[in-house]
Amino acid sequence: MRKLLAAALCLAATTTAGCGATVEPTPRKAMSSAVSLTNCGQKVTYRTAPKRVVTNDVGITELMFALGLENRMAGFAMPDDKGDLTDVPWKDGYKKVKWLSKDQLTKENVLDARADLVFAGWNYGFREDGGFTPDALKKLGIPSYVLTESCHNGRTDTSRGIMPPLDALYTDLTNLGNLFGVEKRAATLIADFKKQVAAVRSKAPAKSPTVFLYDSGQDSPFTSGRYAAPDQIISEAGGTNVMHDVNDSWTTVGWETVVQRDPDVIVICDYGDVTAEQKKKFLLSYAPLRNVSAVRHHRILVLDYVDLVESPRNPSAIARLGAYLRTVAAAKAAN
Q: Is the pLDDT of residue 212 over 80?
A: yes
Q: Give residue 10's pLDDT.
A: 40
pLDDT band at 172 (very low <50, low <70, confident <90, very high): very high
Q: Give residue 188's pLDDT.
A: 98
Q: Is the pLDDT of residue 81 over 50?
A: yes
Q: Give residue 111's pLDDT.
A: 97
Q: Give residue 156's pLDDT.
A: 80
Q: Is the pLDDT of residue 276 over 60?
A: yes
Q: Give residue 87's pLDDT.
A: 76
Of 56, 320, 69, nearest to 186 by C-alpha is: 69
CATH architecture assigned to 205-334 = 3-Layer(aba) Sandwich (3.40)
Q: Give residue 269's pLDDT.
A: 96
Q: Give residue 33's pLDDT.
A: 78
Q: Is the pLDDT of residue 31 over 70?
A: no
Burial class (CB within 10 angstroms; exposed 0-12, middle 13-18, buried 19+) of 106: middle
Mean pLDDT of 8-24: 40
Q: Give residue 32's pLDDT.
A: 55
Summary mean pLDDT of the chain: 90
9-197 shares its CATH topology with 205-334? yes
CA distances from 5 to 245, 303, 325 (A): 30, 9, 20
Where b means 16+ CB within 10 Å and e means fewer, 286-307 reads: eeebeebbbbeeebbbbbbbbb
Q: Is the pLDDT of residue 326 over 70?
A: yes
> Is the model more confident about 33 or about 309?
309
* Contact between residue 199 and residue 287 where contact means Cβ atoms under 8 Å apart: no
**Run of H or E including 34:** none
pLDDT band at 25 (very low <50, low <70, confident <90, very high): very low
Q: How many CB atoms lie within 10 A of CB 317?
A: 26
The proportion of the chain whose per-residue pLDDT surpasses 90, expressed as a percent, equals: 81
Q: Collect all residues with Cβ–Cβ distance below 8 Å to 307 and sequence separation of at least 6.
A: 5, 233, 313, 314, 316, 317, 320
Q: Give residue 27's pLDDT.
A: 52
* Alpha carbons 201 and 185: distance in angstroms, whole number: 24
Give tens-digit pLDDT for 132-154: 999 999 999 999 999 999 999 88
Q: Is the pLDDT of residue 306 over 90?
A: yes
Q: Give residue 14's pLDDT.
A: 39
* Alpha carbons 1 and 58: distance in angstroms, whole number: 10
pLDDT band at 114 (very low <50, low <70, confident <90, very high): very high
Q: Give residue 83's pLDDT.
A: 65
Write down the domain spans for the chain: 9-197, 205-334
At position 327, the amino acid (one-letter code) is T
Q: Between 1.10.287.130, 3.30.70.270, 3.40.50.300, 3.40.50.1980, what CATH number should domain 9-197 receive?
A: 3.40.50.1980
Q: Give residue 112's pLDDT.
A: 97
Half-sphere exposure of 145 (CA within 13 A, CB side): 31
